Amino acid sequence: MEPTIDNNAAPAKIRVRFAPSPTGFLHIGGARTALFNWMYARSQGGTFILRIEDTDAERSKQEYLEEIMRAMTWLNLSWDEFYKQSERFDIYRKYADQLLAEGKARKEGEAIVLDTEKCWNNLSHKEIKIFDLIRGEIVFDQSFLYRRSEDHKSILMKPDNSGPLLREEVLIKGDGTPSYSFACVIDDHLMEISHVIRGEDHISNTPKQYLIYKALGWKEPKFAHLPLIMDEEGGRMSKRTGATAVSDYQKEGFLPEGIVNYLMLLGWSPGNNQEKVSLDAAVKKFSIKKVNKAGAAFSIEKLTWLNAQYIKEMPVGKLTDLLLPFLKEKGYGENADRKWLEEVVKLYQPRMTILLDFMDWADYLFEPNIKAADEDRAKYLTSDKKEGFRLLAEGLASTSSFDHKATEDVFRGVVAKLGIPAGDLVHPVRIALTGKTVGPGLFETMTVLGKDKTVRRLQQAFS
């Protein structure tokens, strides 16, 4: 039997946008906003739009625009449509002129401002109700329009004292460019945005924009205001308290999978106690109603842990590929043997949390000479170790094979002969070979360092 319910009604088209202004690098908070928009679009079979809000010609820079697109691409947040507000000035102008003609706006010098008093009075209700998918209904009375003194402490009254003086919303600025709210409203309407998903800092912009929607005779979209990301102390996220640009994290060797995974967990949870969630899995489970209301503190430690999880499960070949640019930058491993390099990577993979860790730990394999810190030398390379070093160098030099077993056999032989615990020689040798007090197993280390360098560093350890 055919269903009796009419399902022919076209389902509402889901269209969302991420609207950064290219006045700086893509911020970690911006990336999160983009991510939630993206997840919502993908989970609903909707459209994800990237709209560049570059109305401020002074502050907008092409390099930032490119950087934002590069960062989003790196994070795997692909967009379906692309717009730049700077190419749409004539559209905003047209609607401003229309409002002017309708008497809902007026000229203020070169600028055009909305007659908010008239627009407010045109409203059928004496309050503005915004429905927020995350927070429910948010109600504003007229006070959000009140004009205040410089110090914000007192409300300015009309000259005739008949009531509070209302602020006029700038639509077109004195230089002819549109204001943020005006361009935003027009674009969201024209681009048929169904859901405006943005940061909580925009909640108080919403009633102003509502007034513009109504002045234009348009229906407002649905809103969802995401909680803000705070810094580690719960304060406002700023450059002062850590890296804020996505590209900074990329430079340190965070993986896009790790960043995206961490970011999605800030204010949302798949609900099944899972921490490690791929973008695909998140899309399947994502629901905007499950997004938290409270702000979330950014924890570099958890990000780092999550990043380490992705590094650990990565095929060695791929990890090596990712390391290549970092090595190249340092001038390391230009002609390194790929097979050898993968052996080295495999050695450090379990302990890496970010790609840069590898650079800090494996430098001794690429530098011709290494030198441990003086205090470590003084502590470990004591003269009573000289005999052990001599015997070890001698023994290793004469081994035919130089693998884990061979090096260990020689080493065990030496400590047995000297009658000392293995640990007494292990640590000094590690210092001599790597310049570090910590690292992977000593025999693996020797193996990847190679016979020549190992023997030479042992011989020169005390010089």
Partner RNA sequence: GACCCCAUCGUCUAGCCUGGUCAGGACACGAGCUUUUCAAGUUCGGUGCGCGGGUUCAAAUCCCGCUGGGGUCGCCA
Window 444 to 463, contacts with RNA (CB under 7 A): 444
Span 3-22, contacts to RNA by CB under 7 A: 19-21
Q: Name the residue nearer to RNA (CB basis): 172 or 455.
A: 172
Q: Is 202 among the residues that bind RNA (CB under 7 A)?
A: yes
Q: Name the residue nearer to RNA (CB basis): 10 or 141.
A: 141
Least Å distance, CB 386 to RNA, is 19
239 is catalytic: yes
Least Å distance, CB 443 to RNA, is 5
Q: Please name the residue that has the structure tokens 């924009």.
A: 209
Span 414-443, contacts to RNA by CB under 7 A: 422-423, 426-427, 430, 437-443
Give dist(CA 441, CA 112) in Å, integer: 72
Span 352-391, contacts to RNA by CB under 7 A: none
Q: Name the residue nearer to RNA (CB basis): 301 or 337.
A: 301
Q: Is 25 among the residues that bind RNA (CB under 7 A)?
A: no
Q: Is 234 among the residues that bind RNA (CB under 7 A)?
A: yes
Tokens of 258: 């790790």
Q: Name the residue nearer to RNA (CB basis): 238 or 383.
A: 238
Q: Name the residue nearer to RNA (CB basis): 333 or 440.
A: 440
Span 83-102, contacts to RNA by CB under 7 A: none
Q: Which of 29, 46, 221, 267 binds RNA (CB under 7 A)?
A: 267
Q: Which of 125, 126, 153, 219 binds RNA (CB under 7 A)?
A: 153
Q: Is 275 among the residues that bind RNA (CB under 7 A)?
A: yes
Least Å distance, CB 64 to RNA, is 12
Which residue stretch of 37-45, 216-224, 231-239, 386-394 sits at the interface with RNA (rule: CB under 7 A)?
A: 231-239
Name the active-site residue from 129, 239, 290, 328: 239
Tell me phi and psi for residue 358, to 5 degrees: -60, -40
Closest CA to 418 of 451, 384, 446: 384
String marking each residue 162-201 x if it binds RNA according to CB under 7 A: -----x--x--xxx-x-xxx------------------xx
User: How many binding residues for RNA (CB under 7 A)?
Assistant: 81
Q: Which residues of 382-398 are buried (b: 16+ CB within 10 A; e: fewer)?
A: eeebeebbebbbebbbe
Q: Which of 213, 283, 295, 394 binds RNA (CB under 7 A)?
A: 295
Q: Is 235 among the residues that bind RNA (CB under 7 A)?
A: yes
Least Å distance, CB 274 to RNA, is 7
Q: Helix axis angle, 180-190 relative to 89-101, nearest 10°? A: 100
Q: Is 266 among the residues that bind RNA (CB under 7 A)?
A: yes
Least Å distance, CB 8 to RNA, is 29
**Per-residue CA distances from 335 to 118, 358, 402, 446 (Å):** 74, 18, 21, 20
Through-space distance between the first and last CA atoms of the chain, rounded to whole angstroms: 92
Span 333-352, contacts to RNA by CB under 7 A: 350-351
Q: Which of 43, 86, 247, 269 binds RNA (CB under 7 A)?
A: 269
Span 298-317, contacts to RNA by CB under 7 A: 299, 301-302, 305, 308, 312
Supply the residues annotated as catalytic.
239
